Structure 1
């Protein structure tokens, strides 16, 4: 999915997270920031999933479906972004 097909609110939120990550990279190692973002996404998505469950039984019953969905989505957007960086490597990284 390209930036043009997503709504502006989505991109405003995304850009804020990336801006915060870039600020953190000025103070901390990139790997630590990356790991922190990944953990934060997992923690927040766990909260979002738990908050939509009717009760603990439903939470436990459908947990694997949530894991499948979220990992598939992550893999999809990760591949999209890796392909974008591969295609635009010189523009994104070599001129820095």
Structure 2
């Protein structure tokens, strides 16, 4: 994940989250908004990855390595964020104790 001093990384992530929060104003289904955000991330990552290759065949040869990389990164980031929400549940969810 990005170094904690890389504020631009977090600013870009926050911009995506803000867009999803805006979408929740017209689509009350949190799962649908979450799925759209995840689909957008995968589509962008596939496009960004394709830019590194000269052909579809070359990209196909690297497919498993790309899947491993993106799945490992997603899992690491999700674990970090799940732990953060577990440890700060009352603060993030505004639960009165």
Length-normalised TM-score, structure 2:
0.89
Q: Deviations over 1:15-49 (max 9, x none)?
A: 11111111111211111000001111111001011
In structure 2, what is the equivalent of residue 74 of structure 1? 74
Distance 1:68 1:4, change over 3 A: closer
Kindly report which structure 2 residues correspond to 1:1-96, keeping only aligned pairs within 5 A, or say none: 5-28=4-27, 29-95=29-95
The runs of at least 4 consecutive aligned structure 1 residues that moved more than 6 Å come to none
Over the aligned positions, Cα root-mean-square deviation in angstroms equals 1.8
- Alignment coverage as a number of residue pairs: 95
Counterpart-to-counterpart distance in 1, 2:82 and 2:68:
21
In structure 1, list runs of 5 or more residues that go unmatched. Answer: none
Relative to total residues, which structure has the larger helix share, 1 or 2?
A: 1
Q: TM-score when scaled to structure 1?
A: 0.90
